[in-house]
Amino acid sequence: MAPMAESQRATTWEEFRDLRERMHSPESEAHWGAFAPRPTDVIISPYAKSGTTWLQQIVHGLRTRGDMDFDDISRVIPWIETALDLGLDLDADQRGEPRAFKSHLSAHRVPPGARYIVSLRDPKDAFVSFYRFMEGWWFEAGTIDMETVAHRVYFLRERATDYWTHLLSWWPRRDDPDVLLLSFEGMRADLEGVVIRVAQFIGVPLDQALLDLVVGQSSFEFMRAHGDRFDDALIRRLTEERAGLPPGGDSSKVREGAVGSHRAELSAALSAEMDAIWSDVIEPELGFATYAELAAALP
């Protein structure tokens, strides 16, 4: 395969794969692997496109009474896996208490010794959101189809970084006192109730004024209106430098946030494949025939 020209998004699977491999340096992985959180730290660790940015905004709003003086939410709540590459000190004090961090790691890979907030999401919705997030930033729109990304990235389990491994690792810990397990769908249905639960979990006293403020600032309308704070500006700049991506890609984290949006975008064949993976991998371990059944079992 011929090398990509400078400042060019991928147009083939091979180019996309090569670009993704440049995202995290080996040094950064060694760095976060040695990170020792404080017992009061909070690590927000859903699978990708399952509510991570939303929870970052909720936690930061609670601990700072609505601070919005940041250019990227992942500057004030650092992403553990990319911190070294971005020049962020995981051991530094933060703007609010408790300290908080972002991650996408499964329970057996995340740094131990902290408190953890994890939101689950229907894998079909999460996949569609993942695909749309990558399209137009990592690869040119219309050049790599959903089937290719599903089969080459999302369905793979060889590196234990997939959706299914993540879910299987966190579900058994749902009743642990240091874990708050939520669902994206539950957050959509009752944002105020989720903010109350998060505040209790992280130990932030909650009055009505703070509750109203955080609920308002965590709404999709507010976050869309302030989308430049939630568009991965730091990691975008890094990937533009390291992977040669052109500037100006659309990496907004705040899309529709809809429940069941996959029905309009996911092919019947891919939907059936995901159902089959669930039946083969999740149901025998957890006993739920569908994601909806599993989500309904959460408090």
Would you state the pLDDT for residue 2? 43
Average pLDDT over residues 176-203: 98
- Tell me the C-alpha distance between 7 and 182, whole Å: 39
For the entire predicted model, the pTM comes to 0.91
Comparing 23-32, 33-42, 92-101, 162-171, the range with the smallest average pLDDT is 23-32
Tens digits of residue pLDDT in 44-65: 999 999 999 999 999 999 999 9
Residue type present at position 224 = R
Burial 260-291 (b: 16+ CB within 10 A, else e): ebbeeebeeebeebbeebbeebbeeebebeeb
Domains of the chain by residue range: 35-296
- Tell me the C-alpha distance between 118 and 167, whole Å: 10
What is the fold, at CATH topology level, of the domain defined by 35-296?
Answer: Rossmann fold (3.40.50)
Choose among 138, 164, 114: nearest CA to 232: 138
Choose among 8, 284, 1, 290: nearest CA to 143: 8
Tens digits of residue pLDDT in 81-96: 999 989 999 999 999 9
